[in-house]
Amino acid sequence: MQCRLATQNDLDTIMNLYSISRDFMIKNGNPHQWGDNNWPPRELLIDDIEKSQCYVCVQNEKIVGVFVYIFGKDCDPTYLKITEGNWLDDSAYGVVHRLATDGVTKGVGSFCLNWCYEKAGHLRLDTHGDNKPMQALARKLGFVHCGTIYVEHDNYPRLAYEKSALTKKLNK
């Protein structure tokens, strides 16, 4: 597997991956995270691609995953306010959003998150409280639950996770 920046030519495939993931979430007890508003909208994905922050995961020349990766100090305004806990590492970080897979290829989520962590060395992510598969993946990969954040597009709280050299020491 490899990750690369997405292009506008990938957009239909990316939209299909999100449709597959929405169906998976609904069937697995998480109908609200992306299902209530058919998230993410095409316009947002076009913007992510134009900003060079949308990536695809490719295996055997086929796109099997997609995610948004952003890096920087306070690079995500929704992460500035955390409740019921706090971030553990104040250094610049990468953020992963909207991770979706084809639902068939094994290990795509782990590969994408590990790829981002290798680039950043400090990674944050969040997920809906009903997204048990993503929570399990975060724990399996050594992320620490730090608290709760809220996103702009709905009113559901998100479980916030972090992984860095500092959290690795705390996680032992």
Stated as kind and residue range, the H or E segment containing 163 is strand 157-164
Stated as kind and residue range, the H or E segment containing 101 is strand 93-101
76's tokens:
């995500």
pLDDT (0 to 100) of residue 94? 96
pLDDT band at residue 81 under the 50/70/90 scheme: very high
> Quick one: DSSP state of residue 32?
S
Residue 160: phi and psi, rounded to 5, are: -105, 130
Percentage with pLDDT > 90 across the chain: 82
CB 57 within 8 A of CB 65: yes
> Quick one: DSSP state of residue 83?
B
Encoded amino acid at 56, one letter: V
Q: What is the pTM of this model?
A: 0.93
* Distance in angstroms (rounded) separating the CA atoms of residues 150 and 131: 15
Q: Helix or strand or coil: residue 55? A: strand
Query: What is the biggest distance separating any 2 CA atoms in the chain, rounded to whole angstroms?
Result: 44
Tell me which range, 24-28, 71-75, 112-116, 151-155, is most confidently predicted by mean pLDDT. 112-116
pLDDT, one tens digit per residue, over 136-146 is 999 999 999 99
Mean local confidence (pLDDT), 143-160: 91
Encoded amino acid at 67, one letter: F
